[in-house]
Amino acid sequence: MRKARWAAAAAGVVLLVAGCSGAKDDKSGASRSGSSAAPAGAGGSLGAGAATKEIVEAAAAAGFTGEPSGGIPASLERCGVSWQADVKKAADPQKSYAGTLAALKKGGWKQARELKQQGSVITSLEKSGWTLRAIYRDRAESFLVISFEAVDNSAECENVFAEELAKKRS
């Protein structure tokens, strides 16, 4: 199931990065290692470890605890991160989501767009060649998911995602 999830995530990144100009919207993977090294020659100077640190610190300051979500192939660890909030431990998940966004913006992330639809809010932020999607998905009172996914938009990472997608298809 995780492999299928990552194939879908890689496909989303490849299609959105290749198909969008300017502000990019994306799907991305999770980094379990927290590697801070950006790919050699990558356009994103932030790095996966730094992106993860910024997400975790902003979320913690807003009242969230959480962890990396899913398992990511080693080849994608340097190009994308994903962190999911433990919404059951947050006093007010909606307020903590808004607080996390505010902290990220204060830290230099610039809002690119926001989509509100059927109980979901997806906010795209950009910084240093990375695009972050903050996702608030409330389908029913018993099903609330809040996650923060970031991807390096560099050509090198686009190639890494395309290679991973090709592997999944064969």
Q: Where are the domains of the chain?
A: 2-169
**Would you state the pLDDT for residue 108?**
97
Mean of pLDDT values over 13-39? 34
3-state secondary structure 80-142: EEEEEECHHHCCCHHHHHHHHHHHHHHCCCEEEEEEEECCEEEEEEEECCEEEEEEEEEEECC
Mean pLDDT (the chain) is 77
> At 6, is the pLDDT very low, low, confident or very high (cuts 50, 70, 90)?
very low
Q: Is residue 30's pLDDT more than 90? A: no
Q: Is residue 40's pLDDT more than 70? A: no
Tens digits of per-residue pLDDT, 77-111?
899 999 999 999 999 999 999 999 999 999 999 99
Contact 124, 111 (CB under 8 A): yes
pTM of the model as a whole: 0.72
Angle at 110 between CA 117 and CA 93, to 5 degrees: 50
Which residues face 110 on adjacent strands?
126
Token couple for 78:
């340097």
**Would you state the pLDDT for residue 61?**
96
**Would you state the pLDDT for residue 77?**
87
**Neighbour count for residue 95 (Cβ, 10 Å):** 12
Q: List, in order, residues 6 or more apart from 5 with CB less than 8 Å away.
A: 70
**Neighbour count for residue 94 (Cβ, 10 Å):** 14
**Would you state the pLDDT for residue 45?**
74
